[in-house]
Each structure stands twice: as structure tokens, then as C-alpha cells.
A and B are shown apart, each in its own frame.
Chain A
Amino acid sequence: MEVIVEDLAVVRGGMRVLEGVGFRLEAGRALVLRGPNGIGKTTLLRTLAGLQPADGGRVAPGPEVMAYASHADGIKATLSVSENLAFWAGLHGVQSIAAALADFNLEALEARPAGSLSAGQKRRLGLARMAVTGRPVWLLDEPTVSLDLASVGLFAAAVRRHLEAGGSAVIATHIDLGLDGAEVLELGPFKAAPPEHDHDFHEAFL
């Protein structure tokens, strides 16, 4: 499935942060977003995921093909690892979680309450959720935070498998995941021009 983004403008807190963003993402390819802190990588991913309305431009197809992984993993401490994963699988109408558990090396932790996992193990569980959504386009926001080298390898392998199966991924990350043929999109040039006047009269009442 090909994702086409044209002339997209994204807003954060009522201010345009990026404008004129455009790219084409073919099936089986990954796109890496680069840019300094605060440039709007997270906002762009949230806009693609449909959590925030765009201020202009076009994204096709819509949020229904996107699976989004944010900084927070939505893990419930009192549920076990497999219960957490089975919940998201059930929500997305996917039957089996065995493959996702194996991909992220979580089989040994299956029955542990998620609250007792380490930060890296939680992150792996959060990323395993992507595999049970069954959606073709993964939106990953700093996916390797708190992962050790071996886990980064596991994660990169999971992304590669996803790409080989015809999926695609948009990843905001600063480290090299070693994905073959990943395109890099520098967000710096798309930074929105500062507004002409500082205080919008109507905005002041909102």
C-alpha cells in the first residue's frame, strides 16, 4: 500500500510547526524522520495517526491503515504481558499473539504482570503491540528509547519482517537501525514561518 502525503501542515498548540511536508512511501519501504528536538516529528506522526487535525494538505489513505506507537505504551501494570497484548489484538480483530511474543522475545515473560517488567521489557511489549494491530503502516515515535543493543536488533528485525511482508513504516529516530533502503526525510526545511503578528485577536478568547 502506497502512502501519499502532499503539502501537509501540522499544528501544535494552535501554532503551525511544519508546512509543505510531502512524501511518497511505497509498500516495503521505511521513512526515517530526522530533525532537532521540537521541530515537530511527534506532531507529524500524531497528525498522520489521526489524533490531531491537519491544518492543510492531504494524506492518503487515512488513519485507518496506520498503527501508532507513542512514547507511552498504554501498558496496564496489573495485567500480565499476554493479557495486555491479547487486549490490543482483540481490539484490532487479530486472533493470535504468539508470533508477536516470539518476535520481541517476550515468551518467557508471558505470565508476568506488566508492572514488574523493566523499562526495556515494557518498551518491547509496547512495540509488540504494533505487530498485533494488523495494520500496514507503522508510525513509530522514538521506538528505541530504553532498549539495549540486542533489543534494538530484535526491533529492527521485526520492522524488516514487516517491510518484507509488504508493510511500510515512518520512524522518528536518531539512531541507525540498519534498514536497507530506508529513505531519510530532514524536517528542518519544512519548518513553518513564524506568524506575521504575534497575537491573533480571536485566538486570545479561545
Chain B
Amino acid sequence: MIALLKRDLALAVRAGGGFGLALAFFLIVVTLTPFAVGPNAGTLSIIAAGILWLGALLSCLLSLDRILALDYEDGALELLATAPIPLEAVAGIKALAHWLTTGLPLTLVAPVLGVLLNLPEPGYLWLTLSLAIGTPALSVVGTFGAALTVGLKRGGLLLSLIVLPLYVPTLIFGAEVARRASEGMPISEFSTPLALLAGITLGTLALLPFASAAAIRINLR
């Protein structure tokens, strides 16, 4: 399993691997927002938390079809299915590799980009924490969507349509945590969305690798 994780990370950072794609897109969204809504610092600080969460989510979406499609095309997925590690673990490792190359860098860069949007000072800690808690769910759900569409040529559109509704709860609760924190509310005011955000992540982590493996098995027949 470590071998698979290492290979996926190596593939992601080599030429054409897609690492940096999500980061670049996130950077573009955030830097262009002030041009679109105007430089009024007050307006920006109101929408900052929401824009940062939305940007992170869309950046994540951008790289989903790479998770399994490349391995399917060159036959590696079939060979992985016959390897001694269970397909559930393959799905889990793939999601982990996607998070390490997408969700984690997005989380780390978000507070820096928050400056560009005039994010109020109390928001930084909880923006970062809410992204750290929420983005694993994006990767796991995305892997599930990729597993459902893995046999399809150019399945990217279908993948986005399947995955977007599943991303909505994470976006709502994640952005809510960041918004309330940036308004200077105490933690007791946003402990409910925080708990729900963590609950969604833990639930998807526990259940979806099994669903992904089942979908891959059917698509490989």
C-alpha cells in the first residue's frame, strides 16, 4: 500500500502529473475576485471566507478525473484489481494521494490568499482548520465519482454533475465555520457546523472507499 501511495505521489509531481493545477486555479480565482467585485475592503472581508471555500472546492473538482482515468487507460487499474491488496484499500490510497497533492496544499495556501481578500483577522485560524477538516471529504467523494465514471470516455462532465451535489453539505458547513469565525464569534457559536463538517468527513471516509471499490469492480467487467 505504501508502494501505491509513493507511486501516486511521484506521478503527481512529475511532468504532466497535475500537481499545481489545483493550486494555480485557486490562485487565479482568488486574485481575480477583487477585480470582479471591486476593491472595497468592507465588501471583500464579508465574502472572503465564502470565496476561499468555493475556490478550494472548485480547484479540487478540477483534478478529480485524473484519480482513476489514467490508471484505467493504461491498464494499471486492472492489474491493481488483481494485486494482493483489496480494491477498497486502493480506493482509499488513491483518495489519500489526491488529498495530499490537492487538499493539503490548498489548505496551506488559503491563509496566504486570505490576505488578498482582506479576510478579517480572527478568521485565519478557523478558515485553515475548516479546510483541513473538510477537504478530505472532497477527495473521498471525488474518488467515488471517479470510480463511477471510470469506464467512460471523456466522463469529466458527468463526474462533475455527480459530485457537485455531494459537495454541497461540505461547502455549506465549511464556509459557515469560516464565516462565523471571521466575524469574531466565539467557538460556541459555530461548534454545530464544525461538528457537522467533521461528521461528513468521517462518514465519507468510513463508507465511500467500499462504494468506490464496488463501482470500480463493475466498471472493470
- What residues of chain A have their CB less than 8 Å away from a CB belonging to chain B? 49-53, 63-64, 66-68, 70-76, 78-79, 83, 86-88, 90-93, 129
Contact = CB atoms under 8 A, between A and B. Distances in A.
Contact of B74 (A64, A72, A86, A90): A72
Nearest to B71: A74
A66 B85 CA distance: 14
A72 B78 contact: yes
Contact of A64 (B2, B75, B81, B84): B84
- Which of B7, B10, B14, B82 has most A Cβ within 10 Å? B82
Nearest to A72: B75
Given A73-B74, A76-B74, A49 B82 contact: yes
A51 B78 contact: yes
A175 B127 CA distance: 64
A2 B175 CA distance: 60
B10 A79 contact: yes
13 contacts: A50-B81, A51-B220, A63-B82, A68-B78, A72-B78, A74-B75, A75-B76, A79-B14, A83-B10, A90-B2, A90-B3, A90-B6, A92-B83
B16 interface: yes
B17 A78 contact: yes
B82 A68 contact: yes
B125 interface: no
B11 interface: yes
B113 interface: no
B78 A70 contact: yes
A78 B19 CA distance: 14
Contacts of A92: 83-84
Q: Is the interface of A mostly helix, strand, loop or mixed?
A: loop
Given A74-B76, A78-B15, A51 B82 contact: yes
Contacts of B85: 91
Contacts, number: 72
B82 A79 contact: no
B221 interface: yes
A201 B11 CA distance: 46
Interface in B68-100: 71, 74-85
Nearest to B90: A91
Contacts of B2: 90
Nearest to B14: A78
Contacts of A91: 3-4, 80, 83-85
B75 A67 contact: no
Contacts of B82: 49-51, 63, 66-68
Contacts of A73: 74-75
B75 A87 contact: no
B81 A51 contact: yes
Contacts of B81: 50-51
Given A51-B221, A78-B14, A78-B15, A87 B7 contact: yes
A88 B78 CA distance: 13
A63 B221 CA distance: 15
A74 B3 contact: no
A71 B77 CA distance: 13
A50 B14 CA distance: 32
Nearest to A13: B221
